[in-house]
Chains A and B, each alone.
Chain A
Amino acid sequence: MTHIPTDSAPDIPAAKVASSSAPLQLSEEHHLCPGCGHPVAWRLLLEVISELELERRAIGVVGHGCYTNIVRLADVDFLQCLHGRAPAVATGVKRVQPQAAVFTLQGDGDMASEGLQEVLHAAGRGERITCIMLNNGVFGDTGGQMTAATVVGQRTKTSLDGRDPASHGHPIPVADLVARLPGSVYVARGAVNNAGSIARTKRYLRRAFELQMEGAGFGLVEVLTMCPTGWFVATPEGPDYLEDRFEPTFPVGELKTA
């Protein structure tokens, strides 16, 4: 079977409909594992910031995790703070720079395990910030330990036989908790395991930023991402693992809309 050369742009009339780099992306190189979902979420975030023309107003606050590499890849201002404290730092940024588009980028280890109170209090206060949690159910950056969002039965480095509620407790659905608080105006949970989910997740992120810029209040977008390394699965199995194991515990969709 003949393959088509794919090393350069076509030599017949054609329009480029997708660039390899997102807007504001400085590099396409990153050292995240094969099959990781985080870089897809990064791209959506940068596309949304660009499409809403927030390039000069966006300030990101990141916690600690694999996703923190975005600070090296993106032409956006970032602060890194103590593990789990991003919503508190973002609160301060937004209060002194109310015109800024302030967002946090955190993992489930960062937001649910290390800093659950920070996100709940920020939502409770109704801070006009957008928090983004990339949820893959593991502390990927430190080697794949169990987090508060690890789903029941999930194997991690610290739950090798699968998370057992009798000894490990139950996962904490952060988005559902935040949605219950009157201070939050927009809460959604998306995923990056297929093209349709990715398009929906981008809409959620866009809506959260739009509401922040309208001054409406606190927004949270949780994004389920694949971590085949931490899940001990082959990379092609990541998307189905996410759907079969994560989505029953963390259903995707908008949980609260303004």
Chain B
Amino acid sequence: MSTIVTRGTVVIGVERCKGCELCIPACRPGVLEMSSEVNRSGYRYPLLRPGCTACRACHAVCPDYVFEVYKFDEPVATEIRDSPGSEQ
């Protein structure tokens, strides 16, 4: 088990996404990953794991206006069962 602190979250407009993946390396805590499923247009889209810092980098780089960013008033601690990608 490990604890991940999450300071914010994003709302993702999945159906607007064109699957360019620019948000994946832009995400500073590295908590976005592409889906294996596709949206109605046939594009894979980003999924969010715990650990968002509400830094807005995904919002800055997204050409399709997919992201809305929220910063929590109080950070949230999430207990994570160790699995690939969850370790820092």
Q: A residues within 8 Å of B by Cβ?
A: 1-4, 6-10, 12-22, 25, 28-30, 32-40, 43, 192, 194-195, 198-199, 228, 235-236, 238-239
- Contacts A4-B9, A7-B14, A238-B22 given: A38-B63 contact, CB under 8 Å? yes
B50:A236 contact, CB within 8 angstroms: no
Asked whether A17 lies within 8 Å of B8 as measured between CB atoms, the reply is: yes
Verify B72–A13 contact, CB threshold 8 A. yes
Q: Which 10 A-B pairs have the closest CB atoms?
A: A35-B20, A34-B18, A235-B20, A18-B69, A13-B73, A195-B57, A28-B65, A6-B12, A34-B20, A14-B70
Option from B20, B56, B64 in Cβ contact (under 8 Å) with A18:
B56
Q: How far is the CB of B29 from chain A (nearest CB, A)?
A: 13
CA distance A115 to B87 in the complex (A): 54
Min CB distance B88 to A, Å, is 14
Whether the pair B56, A17 counts as a contact (CB closer than 8 A) is yes
> B60's contact among A4, A14, A35, A199, by CB below 8 Å, is which?
A199
Q: Tell me which residues across on chain A come within 8 A of B62, comparing CB atoms.
A: 40
Residues of B31-79 at the interface with A, using a CB-CB cut-off of 8 Å, are 43, 47-50, 52, 54-57, 59-74, 76
Alpha-carbon gap, A3 to B83, bound state (A): 13
* Chain B residues with a Cβ closer than 8 Å to the other chain, count: 49
Closest to A1 in B: B83
Question: How far does the Cβ of A127 sit from chain B's closest Cβ, in whole Å?
Answer: 31
With A3-B47, A19-B68: A14-B22 Cβ-Cβ less than 8 Å: no
Say whether B86 faces chain A, with CB atoms less than 8 Å apart.
yes
Which residues of the partner chain B approach A33 to less than 8 Å between Cβ atoms? Answer: 18
Whether B84 lies near A32 (C-beta < 8 A) is no
A101 to B41 alpha-carbon distance, docked (Å):
38
Q: Which of A1, A14, A32, A195 contacts B9 (CB 8 A)?
A: A14
B30 interfacial contact with A, CB 8 Å: no
B61–A40 contact, CB under 8 A?
A: yes
- Min distance, Cβ B3 to any Cβ of chain A, angstroms: 14
What's the minimum C-beta distance from B35 to chain A, rounded to whole angstroms?
9
- B43 contacts which chain A residues (CB < 8 A)? 34
> Using Cβ atoms and an 8 Å threshold, which residues of chain B touch A9?
11, 68, 70
Instruction: List A contacts of B52 (CB < 8 A).
Output: 4
The smallest C-beta distance from A174 to any residue of chain B, in angstroms, reads: 23
Contact pick for A12, options B55, B72, B84, CB 8 Å: B72
Q: Complex formed: what's the CA distance from A13 to B73 in Å?
A: 6
Separation of A201 and B14 alpha carbons in the complex (Å): 27
Q: Which residues of B contact A43 (CB under 8 A)?
A: 65
Task: Give 12 CB contacts A-B under 8 Å.
Answer: A4-B50, A12-B73, A17-B71, A18-B68, A18-B69, A29-B16, A32-B63, A34-B20, A39-B64, A228-B20, A235-B21, A236-B21
Given contacts A3-B47, A235-B21, A235-B22, contact A16 B70 (CB under 8 A): yes
What residue of chain B has the Cβ atom nearest to residue A235's Cβ? B20
Q: Which of B9, B48, B74, B86 has the most A CB atoms < 10 Å from its CB?
A: B9
Q: Is the CB of B67 within 8 A of A17?
A: no
Contact A198 B76 (CB under 8 A): no
B25 / chain A contacts, CB cutoff of 8 Å: 236, 239
